[in-house]
Copies of this chain bind each other. A is one copy, B any other.
Amino acid sequence: MHMSAQPAHHASVAAASTKSFEQALAGATLKRVEAKEFVFAEGDAASHVYRVETGAVALFKVLIDGRRQIVGFAYPGDLVGLGAEGEHMMNAQAIKPTRLRCLPISGLHRSVAQDPTLYFQLYQAVARELASARDLMLTTGQRTATERVVSFLLALSRRNARTGRDPAMLELPMTRSDIGDFLGLTIETVSRTFTKLRAMGLIELVHSSEVKLIDIDALKSLADGEDRDQ
């Protein structure tokens, strides 16, 4: 039987919270960025790793013709910027006012001297991120628009459950455009799908950025083709 692992779609290295890691972060400076401000861009020197304290950040790549793929959203507790060798290979942009703790990579290497398992933790953190990336690939590669949107909502719901919030009431800090670029859909399709789910009585749009899940079980079965272990 599978008790398998990650629920999917929290694509930014869920917090590796251990003593040595917390210590490394403790001295880190705090940085505020406004909505739409970049934390770093593709090609920038990878000087820091950041942990989101409040707010939310979108991680994305762009094609030369402007098409954009968001590869993940980072919420409070998530790390961004890991796994970059020398320079960043993607962009990180705040999607609302955000506070970040900035950890210089050089300092990180120094911390390793005190705690050699730190690399193991980084390894695990990146491995988790890899797992999410692959789950997202499954979603964008093989699923219909409805399945994608529902999976996305359920992933947010699970995140809420994990962090002690109401799993039926979702805040969507990102725009429809962001959701579309994450799921490989257009704004219009995302919007139509929300409308359809509302018409089916499965969700309620309290506000365009606030969704109430009415019938989670029905949503789960809609998301199907769901990877094992919900």
Q: A42-B2, A133-B133, A138-B69 are in contact. Are A124 and B85 (CB under 8 A)?
A: yes
Stretch of A157-165, A202-210, A219-227 lying at the B interface: A219-227
Contact A126–B137 (Cβ < 8 Å): no
Stretch of A47-55, A60-68, A167-175, A193-201 lying at the B interface: A60-68
Task: Tell me which residues across on chain B come within 8 A of A43, comparing CB atoms.
Answer: 1-2, 4, 228
Task: Tell me which residues across on chain B come within 8 A of A89, comparing CB atoms.
Answer: 4-6, 131, 134
Stretch of A25-33, A99-107, A114-122 lying at the B interface: A114-122
At the interface, yes or no: A141 with Cβ under 8 Å from chain B? yes
Give CA–CA (A48, B227) in the complex, Å.
23
Interfacial residues of chain A within 76-107, with CB under 8 A of chain B in the complex: 82-87, 89-90
Contact B67–A142 (Cβ < 8 Å): yes
Q: How large is the interface on A (under 10, 10 to 19, 20 to 34, 35 or more residues)?
A: 35 or more
Contact A226–B141 (Cβ < 8 Å): no
Task: Tell me which residues across on chain B come within 8 A of A42, comparing CB atoms.
Answer: 2, 4, 228
Task: Tell me which residues across on chain B come within 8 A of A135, comparing CB atoms.
Answer: 61
Q: A127-B126, A130-B83 are in contact. Are A140 and B138 (CB under 8 A)?
A: no
Contact partner, A184, options B64, B85, B86, B142, Cβ 8 Å: B142
Contact B63–A127 (Cβ < 8 Å): no
Contact A224–B64 (Cβ < 8 Å): yes
Give CA–CA (A202, B68) in the complex, Å.
28
Contact A123–B119 (Cβ < 8 Å): yes
Task: Tell me which residues across on chain B come within 8 A of A119, comparing CB atoms.
Answer: 116-117, 119-120, 123
At the interface, yes or no: A58 with Cβ under 8 Å from chain B? no
Contact A142–B87 (Cβ < 8 Å): no
Task: Tell me which residues across on chain B come within 8 A of A82, comparing CB atoms.
Answer: 127
Contact partner, A133, options B65, B134, B183, Cβ 8 Å: B134
Output the nearest chain B residue to A63 by Cβ-Cβ distance.
Answer: B225
